[in-house]
C-alpha cells in the first residue's frame, strides 16, 4: 500500500473517534449531522499532510536512482521534515566520500559504472557461451506455469520463436502423456514451499510435431516473504541419448530371446536321465567341481586341457566365465533347482579361454555331504 493512501486512511479512522464521542453525549442524530463535515475536513487535512510527507520522499527516491546510474552531481533538495533532512544529509556525506575516493584513485566517475556494466555484460556473454557449449536453453515461469522468459536456443531445440513461447503455459509444449508429470512437479514444489532443485526427463513436442526429449533442471523462485513465484529452468536436448538407450534395450531383449531359443534348441531331445547321470557306465570328456557361490574349485586334467585354463587361474574362475548362456542370476536359480532335485542334465555352450565355443551336455549332481556340485561334461555332436 502506498504511504499517502495509508496516511489518509489512518486520519479518517481517527476522525471516527470524535463522531463516536458526540454520538454518545448528544445523540445519534447530532453525530450524523457532524459526520459528513468531519470526514471532509479530515480528508482535506490528511491529503495535505500526506503530500508534504510523500513528495520529498518521491524526489529523494528519483535522486537516488540517478546516483545509482552514475550521476554523482545530483543536488539533493532539503525538505521541511526534520527526519527526511537527516536522511538527505547522510546521503550527501556518502556522495562526498565517494567523490573523494574516486579523486584519490584517479578514476573518472563514469568509468566505475562503465566497468560494472562491462563486467555484467561479460558475465552474461560467458553464461550464454556456456549454455551454447552445453546445448542448453533457459526459461522462466511464473507461479501459474506461464513462461515469462526464455533464451534464443529455444528456436534450435523446439523450432519456436521466443515470442511463440513467452506468455503461454509450458505444458502446452509438452506431450499430453507427460504434461501430468510436469504439473505434479509444479504443484508439489509450490505446496512444499522448499527451495529444492528438481530434475526430470520430459518429452516436448517440436513445432514440426516430432518428439524432443529434454533433460530439465528447474529451481523454484520465492519472494522475500517466502511465497512461491515460479521456476528458473534449464533444458538440454537428450533425444540422441534416448534413441541409443532404446536401441540398447531392444538389443538386450533380442539377446535374451536368442538365449532362450538356444536353450530350447540344445535341449529339444528326450534323454534318459538315469543313463546320462551314471558316469561309471558312460564316457565323459571332463569334469569339475564348484561351490554354492558358483566358484570353480577343482577340475580334472581334461578340464584345463579342453578349456585352455591353467591351475593357477582356478581361484578366479566362476561358472559364468565358463558358461556362454547363463547369467549370474540364472546360474543361482539353476543351483537352487539342483539342490532340490539332487541331479539334473541339460545342454549348453561352454566358453574356452580364447573365446571360442564348445557345445556340451552337462550332468550336474549335488554332493550334499560336501555342499558342492559336481559337473560331468560330455561334448555334444554339434560342430562349432
| Alpha-carbon distances, residue 213 vs 66, 197, 239 (angstroms) | 47, 19, 5
Q: What does the alpha-carbon distance between residue 256 and residue 258 come to, in Å, rounded to a whole number?
A: 5
Question: Within a domain: residue 120?
Answer: no
Q: Which residue has the cell 505446496?
A: 191
Q: Are residues 231 and 282 in the same domain?
A: no
Alpha-carbon torsion, ordered 366, 372, 378, 384, to 10 deg: 120
Q: Which residue has the cell 577340475?
A: 299
3-state SS class at 74: coil
Q: What does the alpha-carbon distance between residue 366 and residue 343 come to, in Å, rounded to a whole number?
A: 6
- Of 63, 86, 105, which residue sits at a domain end? 105
How many structural domains does the chain have?
3
- Radius of gyration over alpha carbons of the chain, in Å? 42
| Alpha-carbon distances, residue 224 vs 144, 193, 230, 233, 287 (angstroms) | 19, 13, 14, 20, 76
Q: Which residue has the cell 506431450?
A: 175
Question: Within a domain: residue 292?
Answer: yes
Q: Are residues 141 and 88 in the same domain?
A: no
Q: Which residue has the cell 542448453?
A: 136
DSSP, res 351: E
Q: Are residues 99 and 141 in the same domain?
A: no
- Of 186, 211, 237, which residue sits at a domain end? 237
Give the pLDDT confidence score for residue 374 in this predicted structure.
92
- Of 216, 237, 258, which residue sits at a domain end? 237
Q: Are residues 364 and 316 in the same domain?
A: yes
Question: Within a domain: residue 256?
Answer: no
Identify how many contiguous H helices and E strands the chain contains and give both numbers.
12, 10
Give the pLDDT confidence score for residue 193 in this predicted structure.
60
Distance from the Cα of residue 173 to its chain's centroid: 19
Q: Are residues 221 and 292 in the same domain?
A: no
Percent of the chain with pLDDT over 70: 66
Q: Are residues 171 and 214 in the same domain?
A: yes
Give the pLDDT confidence score for residue 265 in this predicted structure.
54
Give the closest residue to 218 by CA, choosing from 207, 206, 228.
Answer: 228
What's the start-to-end Cα distance of the chain, in Å?
88
Q: What does the alpha-carbon distance between residue 53 and residue 83 come to, in Å, rounded to a whole number?
A: 10
Q: Which residues span the domain enclosing 99? A: 3-105
Q: Are residues 370 and 303 in the same domain?
A: yes
Question: How many Cβ atoms from other residues are within 10 Å of residue 188's Cβ?
Answer: 12
Question: Within a domain: residue 122?
Answer: no
Give the pLDDT confidence score for residue 275 in this predicted structure.
43
**Rounded average pLDDT over 324-352:** 87
Q: What does the alpha-carbon distance between residue 96 and residue 74 come to, in Å, rounded to a whole number?
A: 11
Q: Check pLDDT > 80 for residue 64.
A: no
φ, ψ for residue 108 (rounded to 5)?
A: -70, 150
Q: What does the alpha-carbon distance between residue 101 and residue 96 come to, in Å, rounded to a whole number?
A: 9
Question: Within a domain: residue 267?
Answer: no
Q: Are residues 285 and 373 in the same domain?
A: yes
Q: What does the alpha-carbon distance between residue 89 and residue 368 come to, in Å, rounded to a whole number?
A: 98
The three three-digit cell numbers of residue 62, written as one number: 528519483
Q: Are residues 220 and 288 in the same domain?
A: no
Q: Check pLDDT > 50 for residue 270.
A: no
Domain containing 310 — which CATH number? 3.30.450.20
Question: Within a domain: residue 268?
Answer: no
Question: Within a domain: residue 278?
Answer: yes
pTM equals 0.38
Half-sphere exposure in the Cβ direction for 354 (13 Å, CA): 7
pLDDT digits (tens, 9 = 90+) for 274-320: 443 444 445 788 999 999 999 999 999 999 999 999 988 988 899 99
Assign residue 197 a region (left: φ > 0; alpha: ψ between -120 and 50; beta: otherwise).
beta
Q: Are residues 280 and 359 in the same domain?
A: yes
Q: Are residues 298 and 362 in the same domain?
A: yes
pLDDT digits (tens, 9 = 90+) for 164-221: 999 998 888 888 877 777 777 777 776 666 667 778 888 888 988 888 888 888 888 8
Q: What does the alpha-carbon distance between residue 66 and residue 286 come to, in Å, rounded to a whole number?
A: 94
φ, ψ for residue 381 (rounded to 5)?
A: -85, 5
Pairing, β 296-299 against β 286-290: antiparallel
What confidence category does residue 267 fall into, taking pLDDT thresholds of 50, 70 and 90?
A: low
Question: Within a domain: residue 180?
Answer: yes
Q: Are residues 312 and 368 in the same domain?
A: yes
Amino acid at each position: 500500500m502506498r504511504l499517502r493512501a495509508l496516511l489518509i486512511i489512518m486520519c479518517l479512522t481517527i476522525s471516527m473517534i470524535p463522531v463516536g464521542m458526540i454520538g454518545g453525549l448528544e445523540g445519534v442524530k447530532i453525530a450524523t449531522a457532524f459526520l459528513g463535515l468531519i470526514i471532509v475536513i479530515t480528508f482535506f487535512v490528511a491529503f495535505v499532510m500526506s503530500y508534504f510527507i510523500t513528495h520529498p520522499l518521491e524526489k529523494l527516491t528519483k535522486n537516488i536512482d540517478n546516483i545509482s546510474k552514475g550521476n554523482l552531481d545530483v543536488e539533493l533538495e532539503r525538505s521541511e521534515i526534520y527526519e527526511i533532512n537527516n536522511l538527505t544529509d547522510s546521503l550527501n556525506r556518502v556522495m562526498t566520500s565517494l567523490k573523494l575516493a574516486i579523486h584519490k584513485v584517479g578514476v573518472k566517475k563514469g568509468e566505475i559504472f562503465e566497468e560494472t556494466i562491462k563486467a555484467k555484460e561479460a558475465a552474461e556473454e560467458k553464461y550464454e557461451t556456456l549454455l551454447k557449449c552445453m546445448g542448453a536453453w533457459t526459461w522462466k515461469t511464473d507461479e501459474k506455469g506461464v513462461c515469462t522468459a526464455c533464451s534464443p536456443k529455444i528456436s534450435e531445440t523446439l523450432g519456436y520463436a521466443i515470442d511463440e513461447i513467452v506468455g503461454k503455459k509450458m505444458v502446452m509444449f509438452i506431450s499430453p502423456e507427460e504434461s501430468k508429470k510436469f504439473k505434479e512437479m509444479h504443484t508439489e514444489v509450490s505446496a512444499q514451499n522448499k527451495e529444492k532443485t528438481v530434475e526430470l526427463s520430459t518429452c516436448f513436442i517440436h513445432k514440426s510435431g516430432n518428439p524432443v526429449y529434454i533433460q530439465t533442471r528447474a529451481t523454484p523462485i520465492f519472494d522475500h516473504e517466502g511465497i512461491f513465484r515460479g521456476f528458473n529452468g534449464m533444458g538440454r536436448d537428450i533425444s540422441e541419448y534416448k534413441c541409443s538407450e532404446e536401441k540398447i534395450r531392444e538389443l538386450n531383449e533380442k539377446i535374451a530371446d536368442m538365449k532362450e531359443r538356444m536353450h530350447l534348441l540344445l535341449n529339444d531331445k528326450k534323454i534318459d536321465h538315469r543313463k546320462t547321470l551314471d558316469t561309471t557306465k558312460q564316457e565323459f570328456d571332463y569334469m569339475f567341481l564348484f561351490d554354492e557361490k558358483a566358484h570353480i574349485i577343482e577340475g580334472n586334467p581334461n578340464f584345463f586341457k579342453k578349456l585352455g585354463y591353467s591351475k593357477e587361474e582356478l581361484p578366479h574362475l566362476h561358472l559364468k566365465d565358463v558358461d556362454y548362456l547363463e547369467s549370474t542370476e540364472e546360474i543361482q536359480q539353476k543351483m537352487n533347482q539342483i539342490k532340490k532335485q539332487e541331479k539334473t542334465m541339460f545342454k549348453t555352450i561352454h566358453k574356452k579361454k580364447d573365446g571360442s565355443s564348445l557345445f556340451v551336455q552337462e550332468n550336474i549332481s549335488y554332493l550334499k555331504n560336501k555342499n558342492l556340485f559336481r559337473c560331468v561334461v560330455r561334448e555334444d555332436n554339434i560342430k562349432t
